[in-house]
Amino acid sequence: MNFSSLGLNQQLLNAVSELGYTEPTPIQAEAIPAILNKQDIMAGAQTGTGKTAAFALPLLHQINACSGDEDYSLNAVRPIKALVLTPTRELAQQVYNSFVEYGKHTSLRTEIAYGGVSLNPQIKALKSGADILVATPGRLLDLLFKKIIDLKHVQSLVFDEADRMLDMGFIGEINRILRHIPTERQTLLFSATFDEAIFKLSKTLLKSPTLIEVDERNTAATQVEQIVYAVDADRKRELISHLIGAKNWHQVLIFTRTKQGADFLAKEMCKDGIKTQSIHGDKSQGARERALEEFKQGKTRALCATDVAARGLDIDQLKYVINYELPHIAEDYIHRIGRTGRAGGSGLAISLLSPDENWLLEEIEAVLDARLPQQWLPGYEPDLTKVVEVSKKNTRTAQKRRHKQRGMGKNTSNRRR
């Protein structure tokens, strides 16, 4: 299936193709036609499944189709037609960024409102009107009470991560917000989990919803579970130490791209109290063998290695592989994760992805012919204000690379260091 068969307008199709999306994810394939068909939906999907585009694209399409007759040129204030509620400001920022990116070839305007920062800039932005508003519940109520916004033209209401909203005790705010929104509307509810509280909420909110459930992640049938955590580069070490410590992992093989990187990371992790050594081509054979032996015997908890040093490395029942940085050669990813899950055992491969590495992930996904959805580890969410800038740059870089490769008649699997 491709995006053009979903009935989205050309501006949106151009935006997704510029982002390098070639086909809809399962949730997009199911949700987009249902939303365009004006149905309410209740969808079970986590961050990383492509759920944001699953609701953003059809909403942008619908609003764009209706805005054709309206004239916004003469200082007319645009009424808010779609409201997206999120539990946290990080998610609000991410959803807002997606709307801006997907809608960049339309003239629709998206605004954002969340707490913990000064109200004034948000008031100023909202006074000029917005077609779509992404907001956290508390700040939205502040704006409603101050009569900065009104929601009586809202046609679509989205609850993103509804389960987290309930966990965070937002039900009172949600009920107050609902009083300001027309009852005649489309409602879309996304939740990672469905428990009694969510079903109760859905009964009061949704009219004959279409139920959509997709797998948490698009992992191929394999013994190695693959997880990608999006995280800022300068917080990667902290995240690794946290994972190893909190989950009490032993024998963790960590890949870095450079020898210096392996040494530095090992030293820093020792300072965090995790006994770690490094192996790479600049170490003598003896030192490498000793480090490996101590790792196998469990005397050291983690081993930092470069790709070359780790080739052929066979450690019985190694459970955990962490990619501190993604490899520059996509096939190395397969070698790296192949260190675990051997001989029928199960394994876990975690990749830490900083915003500047998105294009490397795309190349790996192309080689695997599978998507590796990104997740956030609570407490280590990336700074999203930086992400959009970097991802725009990376899309251009990836496009240039692909163009160049095509021109040279090569594909990714031919490249070697």
Shortest spacing between CB 272 and ligand AMP, in angstroms: 29
Query: Judged by CB, which is closer to ligand AMP: 320, or 359?
Result: 359
Choosing from 52, 186, 251, 278, the residue that interacts with ligand AMP (CB under 6 A) is 52
Q: Is 374 in the site for ligand AMP (CB under 6 A)?
A: yes
Q: Is 354 in the site for ligand AMP (CB under 6 A)?
A: no
Pairing of strands 224-230, 132-135: unpaired
Q: What is the CA radius of gyration of the chain?
A: 24
Shortest spacing between CB 4 and ligand AMP, in angstroms: 13
Per DSSP, the residues of 121-160 read: HHHHHHHTB-SEEEE-HHHHHHHHHTTS---TT--EEEET
Shortest spacing between CB 242 and ligand AMP, in angstroms: 22
Query: Judged by CB, which is closer to ligand AMP: 292, or 361?
Result: 361
Choosing from 13, 24, 158, 161, the residue that interacts with ligand AMP (CB under 6 A) is 24
Q: Is 48 in the site for ligand AMP (CB under 6 A)?
A: yes
Buried b / exposed e over 336-351, threshold 16 CB at 10 Å, is bbebbbbeeeebbbbb
Query: Judged by CB, which is closer to ligand AMP: 44, or 50?
Result: 50
Phi, psi of 207 (to 5 degrees): -110, 120
Q: Is 26 in the site for ligand AMP (CB under 6 A)?
A: no
Angle at 306 between CA 302 and CA 310, to 5 degrees: 75
Q: Which candidate, 34, 36, 40, 8, places its Cα nearest to that of 21?
A: 8
Q: Is 92 in the site for ligand AMP (CB under 6 A)?
A: no
Q: Is 58 in the site for ligand AMP (CB under 6 A)?
A: no
Shortest spacing between CB 27 and ligand AMP, in angstroms: 8
Query: Judged by CB, which is closer to ligand AMP: 28, or 306?
Result: 28
Shortest spacing between CB 50 and ligand AMP, in angstroms: 3
Q: Which candidate, 375, 333, 348, 374, places its Cα nearest to that of 249?
A: 348
Shortest spacing between CB 21 and ligand AMP, in angstroms: 4
Q: Which candidate, 162, 127, 138, places its Cα nearest to that of 55?
A: 162
Query: Judged by CB, which is closer to ligand AMP: 91, or 198?
Result: 91
Helix (H, G, I), strand (E, B) or coil at 42: strand
- For residue 328, count other CB atoms closer than 10 A to its CB: 13
Are the C-beta atoms of residues 119 and 51 closer than 8 Å to each other? no
Q: Interface with ligand AMP by CB under 6 A: which range of 19-27, 181-189, 259-267, 316-324?
A: 19-27
Q: Is 53 in the site for ligand AMP (CB under 6 A)?
A: yes
Angle at 263 between CA 262 and CA 269, to 5 degrees: 85
Task: Count residues near ligand AMP (CB under 6 A).
Answer: 13
Q: Interface with ligand AMP by CB under 6 A: which range of 50-58, 78-86, 212-220, 338-346?
A: 50-58
| 282 contact partners, CB below 8 Å, separation of at least 6 | 259
Are the C-beta atoms of residues 374 and 228 closer than 8 Å to each other? yes
Choosing from 15, 35, 49, 191, the residue that interacts with ligand AMP (CB under 6 A) is 49
Choosing from 15, 21, 131, 159, the residue that interacts with ligand AMP (CB under 6 A) is 21
Choosing from 25, 110, 256, 354, the residue that interacts with ligand AMP (CB under 6 A) is 25
Q: Is 375 in the site for ligand AMP (CB under 6 A)?
A: no
Shortest spacing between CB 358 and ligand AMP, in angstroms: 7
Q: What is the largest CA-CA distance in the chain?
A: 77
Query: Judged by CB, which is closer to ligand AMP: 277, or 358?
Result: 358
- For residue 320, count other CB atoms closer than 10 A to its CB: 20
Q: How far apart are CA 183 and CA 199, in angstroms?
A: 19
Q: Interface with ligand AMP by CB under 6 A: which range of 47-55, 76-84, 150-158, 310-318?
A: 47-55
Q: How far apart are CA 47 and CA 190, in angstroms?
A: 10
Phi, psi of 396 (to 5 degrees): -65, -45
Q: Interface with ligand AMP by CB under 6 A: which range of 24-32, 163-171, 310-318, 399-407?
A: 24-32
Binding site for ligand AMP (CB under 6 A): 21, 24-25, 28, 47-53, 373-374
